[in-house]
Amino acid sequence: MPSLLANAGVGHTPIVELTGLRPYLGTRIRLFAKLEWFNPGGSIKDRACWRMIEEAERRLELTPGKTLLDATSGNTGIAYAWIGAAKGYKVSLCVPASINPVRRRILEAFDAELILTDPLDGSDGAIVEARRRFAAEPLRYCYPDQYSNPDNWKAHYDGTGPEIWDQTEGRVTHFVAGLGTSGTFMGVGRRLRELRGDIRLVSVEPDSPFHGLEGLKHMETAIVPAIFDPKLADERLTVSTEEAQEQVRRLARESGILAGVSSGANLLAALRVADALLGRGEEGTIVTVFPDSGERYLGERFWTEGKAP
């Protein structure tokens, strides 16, 4: 089936220096964020989903009449949904019943079928249900399985990584990113390490199995994605939901950037890396990713916490 959107404008997102934080960082440390909501579906997941769908079509795993099936906590589902609508595929998504209501409305607008799973099981429960449905009806579904599909990380190896390298003119010394499927960290990390052998790769996870950082996994207690290689990271940092939410509020106030909660987690980890560099009197160019915009989270209570009614 020919694509209706060519490459759909996926990728080539802007990178910005967080100059609002410069007084804190001083002049020896530069901190950049790649704004992934400039992808057509509003998140970094467009990159992996576009690649997985295109490759599934090429291998004839996804053909007219088949339904696209996967597990998601939200943004991947939105990417599948808009691409599926553009290409003429039905999309069925297994999602925790606690899915962000704005994301749910977006998915419904694209006419995706939502299969709600136990919210207490998080993304793992959705994965189990997607696997069960595919095993029961393998001829009905194309199941890309974002957690196991190497095309996930290859989208970032071929796209996001080289973009970061070019946009920083090869000056990047540290890359910081959260782990969900781990595709972003695996793909970008592998490409940047090939380009610069001494780069420091820092992964970010929630500090607890019970957290509010949509899209991120607490690897010690979760179903570990098959594409994840724990040996790639030079350093592993953990953040709490509350700390990430505070960074989102700070980012809006001090830098004029309205980002999502996983972006807050990435920012906090990047600032910790900056603190360590400053403490040692070293220089560095730190790059992180902001996976989606804060607009999808404006209904959440943390925006008004601590403010007078």
- pLDDT-based confidence at residue 71 (cuts at 50, 70, 90): very high
Percent with pLDDT over 70 in the chain = 96
Set 92, 182, 255, 262: catalytic member? 262
Query: How far is the C-alpha of 117 from the C-alpha of 220, rounded, in Å?
Result: 22
Q: Nearest-CA neighbor of 174 among 14, 48, 282, 26?
A: 282
Residue 252 tokens read as: 């809006």
Whole-prediction pTM: 0.92
**What pLDDT digit, counting tens, does each position of 113-156 carry?**
999 999 988 888 999 999 999 999 999 999 999 999 999 999 99
**Residue 90 bears catalytic tag:** no
Please say which residue of 100, 120, 142 terminates a domain: 142
Same domain, 173 and 298: yes
Q: Is 281 helix (H, G, I), strand (E, B) or coil?
A: coil
Query: Is residue 9 assigned to a domain?
Result: no
**Residue 154 bears catalytic tag:** no
Please say which residue of 92, 114, 142 terminates a domain: 142
End-to-end CA distance of the chain: 54
Same domain, 65 and 176: no
Same domain, 29 and 79: no
Same domain, 233 and 135: no
Mean pLDDT of the chain: 92
Task: Report the domain count for the chain.
Answer: 2
Give the pLDDT of residue 309.
Answer: 41
| pLDDT (mean) for 166-185 | 97
Q: Is 90 helix (H, G, I), strand (E, B) or coil?
A: strand
Same domain, 232 and 190: yes
Query: Is residue 309 assigned to a domain?
Result: no
∠ CA(74), CA(36), CA(163), 5° rounding?
135
Query: Is residue 208 assigned to a domain?
Result: yes
| pLDDT (mean) for 272-294 | 95
Same domain, 182 and 229: yes
Same domain, 289 and 204: yes
- pLDDT-based confidence at residue 51 (cuts at 50, 70, 90): very high
Same domain, 135 and 166: no
Give the pLDDT of residue 8.
Answer: 65
- pLDDT-based confidence at residue 307 (cuts at 50, 70, 90): low
∠ CA(267), CA(233), CA(257), 5° rounding?
15
| CATH number reported for the structural domain that contains residue 294 in this entry | 3.40.50.1100
| pLDDT (mean) for 10-26 | 87
For the chain, the maximum distance between any two Cα atoms, rounded to a whole number of angstroms, is 60
Give the pLDDT of residue 308.
Answer: 41
Same domain, 21 and 155: yes
Q: What's the domain range around 189?
A: 15-39+151-303
| pLDDT (mean) for 290-295 | 95
Set 34, 43, 45, 73: catalytic member? 45
Angstrom CA distances, 42 to 28, 60, 168, stand at 33, 28, 23
Same domain, 167 and 298: yes
Please say which residue of 121, 142, 163 terminates a domain: 142
Same domain, 78 and 136: yes
CB 23 within 8 A of CB 280: no
**What pLDDT digit, counting tens, does each position of 77-114 carry?**
999 999 999 999 999 999 999 888 888 999 999 999 99
Same domain, 257 and 216: yes
